Structure 1
Amino acid sequence: MRRRVSVKKVAISSALLVFAALWSLPFVGLVVTSLKPYSEVILQGWWSIGGTYSLKNYFEALQNPSYNLLAGFRNSLVVATASTLLPVLLASLLAYSLTYLSFRGKTLLFVSILFMMSVPQQMVVIPLYLLYARVGLLDKLIGLILLHSAWGVPWITFFMRNYLRLIPSSLVESARVDGASEATILLKVLLPVVVPAVIAASAIQFTWVWGDFFYAMVFLASPDNWVITQRIALLKGEYHIDWGLLSAGAILALIPPLLIYTAFRRYYVRGFAGWAIKG
């Protein structure tokens, strides 16, 4: 019996190791390419390990004023941070209301949230563009923030509501009996319990907004307002693609999401693991 279990574990571990290696291969190729000059990438390909390695592409991407990646980082940081904090705050309040409060239209509100989650985002781009043009939100970071926040509220509400439903209702009822207000219950009773879910939702929302290219290209026209994904597109050149330079820009753009995941990985995993196990 022990031999069978051991063989099974080895087989599963080996399969996971192979899958992880295959998944990591493109990223390794990206790193290798970012460290090579243009001529070697063209002649040898990104899969070639040998050759000359340097940080020249990284310095070129950061210091060349034609690319201005630092401005893209700044704009992306503003948009991603605001587009994370705003929907997480609103969604937390909505999730609390849908879980622990009774009011007229509660079912309709929840159905509306589910409907918004099912609407293809590309389907409403043209109406949104016309609306933004009329109200003066085109080519403004606040317009992009409102757009990302609007798409983030429904799914974060759904996620937080499901997590809150795992908490015994007696905890909330006891706090109410003791005279605690709804704000006190939310901030002092429930918030410490749902921190993993809040961080998990925030990390996903931030990563999604940070990597957005479609909405940025549609709603931001002025180079001064361009986000990092638009700035990276400039690295490809007009007549040829410098794969080393483009790879270096992509690696630099990956740093903020990776730092966030690394810093909050424990909460991130607990947020999803707790939901999956208890649910």
Structure 2
Amino acid sequence: MDFLLARGPAGTRAASYAGPLLLSMRLLTFIQLRATVRLPNRLTRRVMARNAAIPPESPAASGGGSRDPESGPLTLSLPEQIAARLSERIIAGAYPPGQRIMEQVVSDEFAVSRGPVREALRLLEKDGLVTILPRRGAQVTSLSIDEVREIFNIRAVLNGLRDRGLAEDPDRARVLPRLEAEVEALARLVREQGAYVETVFRLNRFLNGHTRNGRLRTILSALALQTLRYSRLGLSTESRRRQSIRNWQRLVKAVRDGDGEEAQRAAERRVRDSRDAAIRELEKQGKT
């Protein structure tokens, strides 16, 4: 779907660990999810703009989500649309780590001036997806195995805190039906890597949106995009996806029982299993 037809109104590795909340929208653009959680200000606007473009018959439109009835039609700026398309390619591996992204090539492809392309690349740099180097321009960020390990370790701890908080929340019934439904969907999608990863992201986003810790929510959202390429690697086999489902099922039971400690253990185990599998795949590819 070429959503660039509908135009709206007109670097460093260390920074990649704390990209802005805007990056979650561009991740949603990649997997074409529907918004079901109220998100803050600019992110809500951008999520809803993208969701509005999904036709009713598309797989994403039947993915279990629903539009926020309080939000009207919204649009993305042209740089945001370009950034969304480029992030899609980076996450899917069409632009591998280390590849340069030439402004003029992107400008010619989308029939736009270089100004919006330059701004789109700045957005991706804030997201940690590209690095802009003096006299070399933008290139896809490449993480070493040690850096992948570090980010997954951070995610494991933060997801554990999030899920423990949800399980111990007296109002946890507000998340349980959706959590149960999404985990049941995962069990049905175990043979489909792409759909499985999309559903995992949708579920994590839902849980992020219901944590009462706003800073935790922001950091988790920022880390999601940076690790998606590697999460896909970590869920590349059916046996790994079945292992993942078991950990999600443990979380469902823990939330139902109000067992915060078990919820935390399940979350940490889930992320660390993904970390270990991703690193094994990277090592097979000769990465260091």
The TM-score normalised by the length of structure 2 is 0.24
More helix by share: 1
The TM-score normalised by the length of structure 1 is 0.25
Q: Which has the higher relative contact order, 1 or 2, with Cα contacts under 8 A spaced 6 or more apart?
A: 1
